[in-house]
Structure 1
Amino acid sequence: MGCGRNFKDDNRVAGEFTDDNCVCDVVRSIADAQNDVTDELCDVSCERSINSLVSPVSRNNLDTVPFILYGKDLKPFKGFGADIQGGGMNARFDCIESFVFRVNEVSDNCCAVLELLTCDGDPDQPGDQHGAKCDKDPCEQLNGLGVNELERTGICITVDLNCFCAITCLPAVSLL
């Protein structure tokens, strides 16, 4: 199945994509798995990351499958958002950009709420949430990053998953 093409095969095997959009299917699977994680539950591929997340055997407290999306031009998608730091007359926007996301929800029509994940400092400190600032690709943002340095920002964007052609899942991590 490719971007913009429908997979129409009545002989498909269980576990294969069933929607018209494989990126939407994978992100929906991640959302479902993350929603199934409880406080007691807790190699790199989307299937492996999802299995790590919901594996009752490991009890590893993993709660998030971070991922990178690619547009129809197969370039990595970078999301942008801003938080407000400070208050009153000193309130300032703190801009965040990131190639790495956590899914919060996916609707039936493949619209998804994605949270930007960052790796630069305490999200409550102004100017520390740089995420992918000046980075040309996801590897520049992530290379050498400690797994426990990936952080939630609380900044969410809504995207149409039908606009993406590829997804790379990172290993499951604990962010909640």
Structure 2
Amino acid sequence: MGKKAERNNDVGGVISNGNGCVCDVVRAIADAQDNVVEIGCDVSCARSIQNLVSPVNGNGLDTVPFILYDKKGKPFKGFGTEVRGGRFECFNSFIFRVTEVDDEDCCAVLELLVFDNDDTTCGDPCEQLDNEQVANLERTGICITVDLDCFCAITCLPAVSVL
């Protein structure tokens, strides 16, 4: 077989190295979020990443929330639990924050993000997001590990502050 052509896509300032484009975008988000935390300081992934790191002196934004889609085009819903008062409490969400990306195998640790008044299971991302206040988006502390090569699309939401 012939040699596979290497892509040279610019994803939010990151040049693709031939891995899946979802992996490249999530890696760029992780790098931008790390830079914001380290320095204290129209919707698309590139715009959300740019808004996260600009201006350099800090704008209060610390997270690019995103939604992943499987290879059939269906939004991916993550599930996790925590223990409160000796009981399990289940959370599910279509919205994630990347906490870490493994460059070798393109696996990522994603934290589930939810709205503070969200007690019901959502059927799709729009149902989860519709009419919610941006300020009510919060971290759960619940993380899942995913293989980013299993996804074919990503939708980035505008950069927000959830820390």
The interval holding the TM-score normalised by the smaller chain is: 0.7 to 0.9
Flag structure 2 segments of 5+ consecutive residues without an equivalent: none
2:139–2:162 contact (8 Å) kept in structure 1 = yes
Q: Tell me which residue corresponds to 1:118.
A: 114
Distance 1:142 1:70 in 2: 16
3-state SS, counterpart of residue 28 of structure 1: helix
Q: Which amino acid aligns with 1:84?
A: V
Mapping for residues 1-176 of structure 1, pairs under 5 Å? 8-9=5-6, 12=8, 15-38=14-37, 42-56=41-55, 59-86=58-85, 91-108=86-103, 109-121=105-117, 130=119, 133-176=120-163
1:41–1:60 contact (8 Å) kept in structure 2 = no
| CA RMSD in angstroms, aligned pairs only | 2.1
Corresponding residue pairs, total: 157
Percent identity between the two aligned chains? 62
3-state SS, counterpart of residue 49 of structure 2: helix
Note closer, same or farther for the CA distance 1:7–1:29 as it changes in structure 2 (3 Å cut).
farther
Q: Which amino acid aligns with 1:8?
A: A
Note closer, same or farther for the CA distance 1:13–1:46 as it changes in structure 2 (3 Å cut).
closer
3-state SS, counterpart of residue 76 of structure 2: coil
| Bigger CA radius of gyration | 1
1:79–1:157 contact (8 Å) kept in structure 2 = yes
Q: Greater strand percent: which structure?
A: 2
2:109–2:143 contact (8 Å) kept in structure 1 = yes
Flag structure 1 segments of 5+ consecutive residues without an equivalent: 1-5, 122-128
Distance 1:140 1:13 in 2: 32
Q: TM-score, normalised by structure 1?
A: 0.82
